[in-house]
Every structure is written in structure tokens, then in C-alpha cells.
Amino acid sequence: MREFKKFFHLALHVTDLDKSIDFYKRLGCEYMFTLKLDDGRPWLAYVRLNKDQYLELFQIYEDHPLTPREKKITQESDDFFGHLSFLVPDIYKAAKDWAAAGCPLVYAPFRPEIVPLDDISGVHWAAGAADRNWICWIQDPDGNWIEVMEEREDSYQKVFEETHPW
């Protein structure tokens, strides 16, 4: 028997909870609920990515022991946390929908030139990665990089799932 059923959630500390909730809603994810601190202020919010799979967004406060208090949030390429990734069924549709929602995809992070994907007619931007997926990137309001991936038929992940059914 497997020890774990699911990758349940990923927790991020955010500087502006409303802004973060708004961002993930623009991507089409559902806002679920907010837990409050004893003084009534919002503590953390849940956003659904998939069935039984969520983002947990913690509001940063300087003055409450239960909350993160980081003053500065940076995301550098040599940080111990790399990035997160969302699986999409159709990367072109996501690019179009998200550009219309004010969240344009970009070619790649950690590069001197970040090229916005205004022209989604080209295929060059969704470069095949080493694992044979289509990829591009988006950044959340706190600067976390999110790799947006559409699996190709021969992607390593797809081949693994087919040969190792859950």
C-alpha cells in the first residue's frame, strides 16, 4: 500500500492576500475559504488546483505570532525553493485566456531578457523541455515563478504514468 494518497497542498507566504487570491482566480482556480486569526484578521486562504489539491496562502503580518513575518520576499535562482508548476490541458488556450485576464505568460525566468508572449501564434515560445513537454512561465504577485506545462504524447511523465499505473 502507498504511504501517501496525494500531494495535498503547497503553502506560500504572501504580502497581500487579496491580490494573491485575485491572481489565482484569474488563472481559473477556485477560491475556497479563509481561516481567521483570533482577532478576526485573515490568516490563510485556500485555492483549489485539482481535486484534493490546493494552494495555502498565508498573509504576512509583523505583529502576530501565528503568521509569517518576513520583511522582504525574494525569489532568486539560487534560492533553496525553486518553483512550482501547473499542468494545463492546452497551453495555447491558457496563454490566450490568461493574457485576456491580465496575466500574460513569459518565455522563461532567470534570464536577462524576459519575453512576453504576445504572439501566441508562434510555437517557438513553448519550447520543448528536456522532459519533452511544452513549457512557458508566469509569475505570481510575490514573484514566485510558476512553470506552465502541457504534456506531449511522448513526455517522460506521460510514458511513466502509462507504464506505472497508480
Q: Shortest Cβ distance from residue 119 to another protein (Å)?
A: 19
Interaction between residue 14 and another protein (CB under 8 A): yes
Interaction between residue 164 and another protein (CB under 8 A): yes
Residues 6+ apart with CB under 8 A from 133: 149, 150, 151, 152, 155, 157
Stretch that binds another protein, among 24-32, 107-115, 118-126 (CB under 8 A): 24-32
Amino acid symbol at 28? G
Interaction between residue 139 and another protein (CB under 8 A): no
Residue recorded with cell 514566485: 144
Q: Shortest Cβ distance from residue 123 to another protein (Å)?
A: 17
Q: Shortest Cβ distance from residue 118 to another protein (Å)?
A: 18
Residue from the set 17, 21, 27, 117 that interacts with another protein by CB under 8 A:
27
70 and 13 in contact (C-beta within 8 Å)? Answer: yes
Interaction between residue 108 and another protein (CB under 8 A): no
Long-range contacts of 126-131 (CB under 8 A, 24+ apart): 126/91, 126/92, 126/150, 128/152, 131/155, 131/156, 131/157
42 and 59 in contact (C-beta within 8 Å)? Answer: yes
Stretch that binds another protein, among 75-83, 108-116, 117-125 (CB under 8 A): 75-83
Interaction between residue 107 and another protein (CB under 8 A): no
